[in-house]
């Protein structure tokens, strides 16, 4: 897999996605392990495995489904990543950031990134939303 990508590579991946769904998402979701189940709430969903998308890496982390789910969630049109790529898995930074760049080429202008995090504040509870 390439370690460097051009604008035409991002456009090729975005065009592939456009050809495989009628949705035009404006919100991108990168779902961490704890929220991957949120994708099941996406309605009228188109599910596309990463392996089918030009230039996309494949997630190697257990529990990461490795697919995009595109549809509507709470009235918004979203593109959700179930599984992501990490630098520590041996991917280049260009590969790690490729999905976000493709989302931008799709017209997504809002990105919500989730992850599992801990805190020392005793008032934090499981499921609380934190700013990192």
Q: What is the pLDDT of residues 79-118, one digit of tens each?
A: 999 988 888 888 999 999 999 999 999 999 999 998 777 7
**What's the CATH fold of domain 7-113?**
Rossmann fold (3.40.50)
Rg (CA), the chain: 15
Q: How many CB atoms lie within 10 A of CB 34?
A: 14
Model pLDDT, residue 7: 94
Higher pLDDT, 61 or 29: 29
Domain coordinates of the chain in residue numbers?
7-113
Cβ atoms of 39 and 31 within 8 Å: the answer is yes
Which of 45, 67, 46 is CA-nearest to residue 58? 67
CA distances in angstroms from 112 to 20, 22, 26, listed in the order given: 23, 22, 11
Q: Tell me, what DSSP letter sits at residue 70?
A: E
- Alpha-helical segments (H) within the chain: 7-20, 93-106
Tokens 């700013």 sit on residue: 131
Model pLDDT, residue 124: 87
Question: How many helices, marked H, and strands, marked E, lie in the chain?
Answer: 2, 5
């Amino acid at each position: 897999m390439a370690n460097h990508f051009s604008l035409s590579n991002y456009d090729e991946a975005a065009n592939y996605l456009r050809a495989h769904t009628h949705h035009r998402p404006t919100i991108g979701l990168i779902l961490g392990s704890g929220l991957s189940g949120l994708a099941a709430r996406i309605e009228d969903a188109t599910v596309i495995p990463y392996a089918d998308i030009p230039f996309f890496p494949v997630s190697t982390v257990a529990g990461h489904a490795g697919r995009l789910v595109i549809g509507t969630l709470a009235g918004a049109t979203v593109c959700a990543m179930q599984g992501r790529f990490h630098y520590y898995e041996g991917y280049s930074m260009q590969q790690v950031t490729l999905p976000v760049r493709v989302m931008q080429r799709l017209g997504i202008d809002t990105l919500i990134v989730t992850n599992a995090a801990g805190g020392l504040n005793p008032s934090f509870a499981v499921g609380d939303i934190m700013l990192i």
